[in-house]
Amino acid sequence: MTTENEWKVPEPLQPRPEDHEYDLDRALSAVVGLKSIVPSDAFTADTLGTERAGSGVLVRADGLVLTVGYLVAEAETVYLTLADGRAVPGHVVAYDHETGFGLVQALARVDLPPLPLGRSSAAEIGERVVLGGPGGRIHSVAARIVAKQEFAGYWEYVLDEAIFTAPAHPNWGGAPLINAVGELIGIGSLQLQQGRGSFLNMVIPVDVLKPVFDDLMLLGRANRPARPWLGLYAAEVEEKVVTVGLSEAGPAAKAGVQTGDILLAVAGVEPGDLAGFYRRVWEQGPAGATIPLTIVRDGRTLEIAIVSADRSSFLKKPSVH
């Protein structure tokens, strides 16, 4: 098994200092490795595992790290590996379902420069960027922005304008996206297949963090009503929105939704696509609202009412250090 220090990005894909107007090595020194341990009885343990690894980036001089939320959801132990080689414990400050971000506080003095936040909305298609990795240039990828568009994830998640980059970073989870002037404009979330043998990364834009950042720091969550959560996994299949999986403990399963059900309408309105389905669900009110679905199962049209839930109520809360 390849260790974190043995693997390298192929040299032709590594960023070169001479190609950037900012201090590339200084910017990459803000990238940290992140490892978390999640209890085996955690709600997300079966889907995301109990041992998770990725990266994050220092966004404040006091050791605050921004990462992708799935790395730290329900984590009871977090360790950060800093650019100077130190491994320090971390505490999960917040995990926000709507944005997909997580915040971790290093529980030791860091003494490394944070990466300033840029404006992801200002990033342009074709722009030269870097997806950073812990350990500097050999773990980072020189890429370009290839698209900015809506993204809907099967786990009841929508971004109005995600950023897509290529070539893909092999260790994308939590990887910071750095723009042409050395600012953070996003955090790596997924690797997607673009074509035969071609991959790209989906990056969460940092602009969606800014409106909720103060709430996350103060409350550990965004100060807004929780969205209604159904506990179903959906995908677009032949221009239809179809249930492809269910959370056994979730509201949809309890209401009788089954894998393979075509999700025809929400409150009498056909959603059109996956993002439209989620948005129509969220329009019905906050968590706890009853969501009326019209489904097609084995050629029969059925009406099912789902009493939605607050997804966060199913998760273990961060432990206090």
Token pair of 165 as six digits: 């980059």
On whether both 68 and 83 belong to a single domain, the answer is: yes
Are residues 77 and 133 both part of a single domain? no
What band does 194 get if pLDDT is binned at 50, 70 and 90?
Answer: confident
* Secondary structure of 157-174 in HEC code, one letter for each residue: EEEEEEEEEECCCCCCCC
How many Å apart are CA 49 and CA 187, to the nearest integer?
Answer: 21
As a whole number, the mean pLDDT across the chain is 95
Read off the pLDDT of each residue in 258-262 and give the average, rounded to a whole number. Answer: 98
pLDDT at 321 over 60: no
What the block records as the tokens of 31 is 């990238």
What tens digit of pLDDT does each residue of 88-125 get?
Answer: 999 999 999 999 999 999 999 999 999 999 999 999 99
pLDDT in tens, 51-92: 999 999 999 999 999 999 999 999 999 999 999 999 999 999
- Indicate the burial class of 293 (C-beta count within 10 angstroms; 0-12, 13-18, 19 or more): buried
For residues 239 and 184, membership in a common domain is answered with no
pLDDT above 90: residue 297: yes
Write the CATH number for 282. Answer: 2.30.42.10
Q: Judging by DSSP bridges, how do beta strands 198-205 and 290-297 pair with one another?
A: unpaired
Does position 283 have pLDDT exceeding 60, yes or no? yes
Percent of the chain with pLDDT over 90: 93
- Whether residue 321 is contained in a domain is answered as no
244: exposed, middle or buried (Cβ count in 10 Å: 0-12, 13-18, 19+): middle
pLDDT digits (tens, 9 = 90+) for 165-189: 999 999 999 999 999 999 999 999 9
The answer to whether residues 29 and 63 belong to one domain is: yes
Distances 152 to 90, 96, 159, 235 between C-alpha atoms, Å = 30, 16, 6, 9
281 occurs within a structural domain: yes
In a domain? residue 25: yes
As a whole number, mean pLDDT of residues 259-288 equals: 97
Is the distance from CB of 180 to CB of 128 less than 8 angstroms? yes
Structure token digits, residue 99: 């944005």
Mean of pLDDT values over 303-309: 98
Domain count, the chain: 3
How far out from the chain centre does Cα 309 lie? 21
Q: Are 237 and 296 in contact (CB under 8 A)?
A: no
Report the DSSP pairing between strands 290-297 and 262-266: antiparallel
Residue 320 pLDDT class (50, 70, 90 cuts) = low
Q: Which residues form the domain of 31?
A: 11-114
Give residue 3's pLDDT band: very low, low, confident or very high (50, 70, 90).
very low
- In eight-state DSSP terms, residue 47 is H
Q: Provide mean pLDDT across the span 154-161.
A: 97
pLDDT of residue 264: 97
Is cis: bond before 292, omega within 30 of 0?
A: no
Domain boundary among 176, 210, 244: 210
User: According to the model, what pLDDT value does residue 1 have?
Assistant: 31
Is the pLDDT score of 2 beyond 50? Answer: no
Other CB atoms within 10 Å distance of the CB of residue 289:
17
Does a structural domain hold residue 6? Answer: no
Q: What is the mean pLDDT of residues 4-31?
A: 92
The whole-model pTM stands at 0.95
